[in-house]
Homo-oligomer: A and B are copies of this chain.
Amino acid sequence: MTSLQNDLFLRALLKQPVERTPLWMMRQAGRYLPEYRATRAKAGSFMQLCTNPELACEVTLQPLDRYRFDAAILFSDILTVPDAMGLGLSFAEGEGPQFARPVRSAADVARLPIPDPETELRYVMDAVRLIKTNLHGRVPLIGFSGSPWTLATYMVEGGGSKNFQKVKGLMFEQPALMHQLLDKTAQAVAAYLNAQIAAGADAVMVFDTWGGALSHADYLEFSLSYAQRVRQALNTQYDGRTIPTILFTKGGGLWLEAMADTGYDALGLDWQTDIGQARIRVGDKVALQGNMDPLTLYAPPAVIREKVGKVLQGYGQGSGHVFNLGHGILPDIDPAHVAAMVDAVHELSPHYHR
């Protein structure tokens, strides 16, 4: 069924039996690694790194050479899609992302194109193909996108935001226009992920980084329904392959039941959510990915090992768990501490699959 040498990750997402719990780590290709910082310096800017397939491939593979991770994740940024929609993305050094042309009016929404991923986002698809070639089937490759809501927050705010005043203003005052924006963004996200699948991605993940800023009702209406629409549009049976799908809403622990009904194969959990209780709440509907507190990685290796054990024990016996952090690794973590986490998962998890 697969030409992969290690398909533990895909099997766990589909709740098929595994010998041990697979793991990868959000932002595993990132600044905590000296080799990443070297490539980043070589690239120039962050965007130059994202848009250069050779360098994006290089940093994607780096963590796999250090650690026994069970998946690679495409190195890219969630804001490539709005950039391709014409918003003009830039990253000022030491600051967050900025859009030159934020979306504020009906005219702004009307003129947004749905990008053709193989033209406007060709550099991402080239990176996916190059990574797949260079992985030689060692582990699966995860493609990803921001969720429509999360992308819309940046598109309306024009960058990062603390309180989401502009995008919530649009949502409260002109909900119909907000829905038009989300509808277009969902189409763009679905096309982008399908192109990643066609280019070789073995699984796809939707990052809803800012869904947790919404009330329950607004989350269902403005975030989850569009994540579901994306899911429905995905080609999850492609060229003889089954492509598992993962939905992660940071701060979404309250809403797991609704998330589990959207057709995604797995839910990402932040570290605030108890994984054992989450498993009871979602039942057999989805697998779970997560969810150690990323701050644990500052602690000494013995503490890391203990906390890994707690997460594995929390999920308990059987397949359907992919070990991960509850959010991305921080830039100043000691790489040796990541090794302690990886070793602990490899050593402690077979117990739960006997």
Contact A298 B216 (CB under 8 A): no
Contact B295 A272 (CB under 8 A): no
Q: Is A218 an interface residue (CB 8 A)?
A: yes
Contact B217 A298 (CB under 8 A): no
Q: A212-B272, A216-B272, A271-B215 are in contact. Are A172 and B298 (CB under 8 A)?
A: yes
Residues from chain B with a CB closer than 8 A to the CB of A133 are none
Give min CB distance, A217 to chain B, whole Å: 7
Apart from A163-B294, A172-B296, A172-B307, 13 more pairs, CB < 8 Å: A163-B330, A168-B295, A173-B299, A212-B272, A214-B272, A215-B271, A215-B272, A215-B326, A218-B293, A219-B272, A253-B253, A254-B272, A254-B273
Identity of the chain B residue whose Cβ is nearest the Cβ of A253 in the assembled complex: B254
Identity of the chain B residue whose Cβ is nearest the Cβ of A326 in the assembled complex: B215
Q: In the complex, A307→B214 CA distance in Å? A: 13
Residues from chain B with a CB closer than 8 A to the CB of A106 are none
Most buried by B among A164, A216, A294, A310: A216
> What count of chain A residues pass the 8 Å CB interface test?
35
Q: Is A100 an interface residue (CB 8 A)?
A: no
Q: Is A48 an interface residue (CB 8 A)?
A: no
Using a CB-CB cutoff of 8 Å, which residues 250-287 of chain A contact chain B?
Answer: 251, 253-254, 271-274, 277
Give min CB distance, A147 to chain B, whole Å: 16
Q: Is A41 an interface residue (CB 8 A)?
A: no
Question: What copy number does this chain have within its complex?
Answer: 2
Contact B165 A273 (CB under 8 A): no
Q: Is A4 an interface residue (CB 8 A)?
A: no
Q: Is A303 an interface residue (CB 8 A)?
A: yes
6 pairs of residues in contact across A and B, judged by CB atoms under 8 Å: A168-B295, A168-B296, A169-B295, A216-B274, A217-B274, A218-B293
Residues from chain B with a CB closer than 8 A to the CB of A165 are 295, 298, 330
Interface flags for A330-347 (1: CB within 8 Å of B; 0: not) read: 100000000000000000
Identity of the chain B residue whose Cβ is nearest the Cβ of A292 in the assembled complex: B215
Residues from chain B with a CB closer than 8 A to the CB of A293 are 168, 214-215, 218
Residues from chain B with a CB closer than 8 A to the CB of A350 are none
Give min CB distance, A33 to chain B, whole Å: 19
Contact A272 B251 (CB under 8 A): yes
Using a CB-CB cutoff of 8 Å, which residues 151-198 of chain A contact chain B?
Answer: 163-165, 168-169, 172-173
